[in-house]
Amino acid sequence: MKIRHTSPAFRTFAGAGALDALPRELARVGAQRAAIICIPAVAAHTEQMNRLREALGDRLAGQFDGVEEHSPLPSVERARAFLADCAADAVIAVGGGSSVVTARAATILLGEGKDVRELCTRREGERLISPKLAAPKLPQWVVPSSPTTAYAKAGAAVHDPETGERLALYDPKARAQGVVLDPGMALTAPARLSWSAALNVFSMALEGLQSRRVDPLADALLAHALRTVVTWLPQVAKDPAAATPRLQLMLAAIMSGQGSDHTGGGLAQALSHAIGPRSSAPNGVVEALLVPHAMRFNAPVAGERLAAIADYLGVADHSVDGVIAEVERLLDVFEAPRKLQDIGVAEDSLAEVVSHAMDDWAITAGPRPPEEQDVRELLAGAW
């Protein structure tokens, strides 16, 4: 066995008083002008936002609350202009995945000073190429309102509403310094949003555990993320006013995000990236719906990995059918939809989905690389 496992520096603060860590974190890197990047829904929670602003004190340079779902390019460009206008030397992303991605992408665009199409991952012949982005980037922290695997990532993908393209940016220097899990902020998100985001955590852990890049350290993170979601996601619906289940899911999001950083993504993730902006459902819901179909596709080459997932889920039947049946049972427990047509995906949009998914970096990490016909057949079965 040969393993190369590098863990980037990342600090996690959770529970009552977690916000008090932010001034110390900013002082640690010498930052004096921190800018908040957030979604309007979180900005509307004035009590919690005031707590954050008080924690930042005179280090707060301003607040941009124009983040939009799926991080469309125009809103990312506005965030970049805001960071430049307020002379920010640090960024605080507040909210869910869209806030984190928008803040990261805006920071990359600001640092590089180039058009997004010069910086994004693109296909050259048979290969996907991710340009090296050498310019310094502003340090970032995340104060989340929902669980998202984006906390710990170095990539950011923006949606171009004019072309329908997903423009992926990758820069390790844009990875967040850490995350602050505050109970009050965790309760600003509707319970349904925490639910859909946790489905992404669950799905990404499952796909990471099927990867051909076997890494026991990553597997440990992914396996515990999986078990944490199984334990705590049902509690969000049972007690939506409780902070503990949400904080537990946020910790699972960190583990799933960090673990999958080493194993890569997968087929369901790539397809959810393409389908999400074309449906009425969040990416996590789409990905969870597609995971059993991707598992069946991977089964011919991932039998041992699927058997390990059965162990992590406490399933006696280690067969492919047994572990997929358990995943489908859990999705029913989570009340996740099971058909693409049920979440507003038009059948005539699937051909475009295939085209975009084949150019998604996540599709390269699966244990069984698909051809376009494989993806068409999978989507037909899921529709």
Tokens linked to 30 = 């010498």
Instruction: For residues 43 and 107, give the distance between their C-alpha atoms in angstroms, rounded to a whole number.
Output: 20
Beta bridge partners of 124: 127
Sign of the torsion formed by the C-alpha atoms of 267, 203, 121 and 166: positive
Give the pLDDT score at 346.
85
CA distances from 132 to 80, 116, 156, 173 (A): 20, 13, 14, 11
The answer to whether 79 touches 173, Cβ cutoff 8 Å, is no
One pLDDT digit (tens) per residue for the chain, 383 residues:
778 888 889 999 999 999 999 999 999 999 999 999 999 999 999 999 999 999 999 999 999 999 998 899 999 999 999 999 999 999 999 999 999 999 999 999 999 999 999 999 887 777 778 899 999 999 999 999 999 999 989 989 899 998 888 899 999 999 999 999 999 999 999 999 999 999 999 999 999 999 988 899 999 999 999 999 999 999 999 999 999 999 999 999 999 999 999 998 889 998 898 887 777 788 899 999 999 999 999 999 999 999 999 999 999 999 999 999 999 999 999 999 999 999 888 888 888 888 888 877 788 778 998 999 999 999 999 99
Instruction: For residues 73 and 166, give the distance between their C-alpha atoms in angstroms, rounded to a whole number.
Output: 10
3-state secondary structure 83-144: HHHCCCCEEEEEECHHHHHHHHHHHHHHHHCCCHHHHCCEEECCEEECCCCCCCCCCEEEEE
Give the pLDDT score at 129.
84
CB atoms within 10 A of CB 35: 27
Instruction: For residues 157 and 165, give the distance between their C-alpha atoms in angstroms, rounded to a whole number.
Output: 10
The CATH code for residues 11-185 is 3.40.50.1970
The answer to whether 69 touches 139, Cβ cutoff 8 Å, is no
The answer to whether 94 touches 185, Cβ cutoff 8 Å, is yes
Give the pLDDT score at 210.
95
Give the pLDDT score at 152.
87
Domain with CATH 1.20.1090.10 in the chain: 191-382
166-170/155-159 β-pairing: antiparallel
Give the phi and the psi of residue 92 in degrees, each rounded to 5: -115, 110
Find the DSSP H helices in the chain.
21-28, 40-43, 46-56, 73-85, 97-112, 116-119, 183-186, 191-208, 216-238, 243-263, 267-275, 283-298, 303-312, 320-333, 350-357, 372-382
The answer to whether 256 touches 205, Cβ cutoff 8 Å, is yes
The answer to whether 38 touches 142, Cβ cutoff 8 Å, is no
The answer to whether 92 touches 34, Cβ cutoff 8 Å, is yes
Give the pLDDT score at 10.
95
* 314: DSSP letter: T
Give the phi and the psi of residue 136 in degrees, each rounded to 5: -60, 155
The CATH class of the 191-382 domain is: mainly alpha
DSSP string, 19-37: GGHHHHHHHHTT---EEEE
Query: Could you tell me the pTM of the whole model?
Result: 0.94
List all residues 6 or more positions away from 355 whose beta carbon is below 8 Å from its beta carbon: none
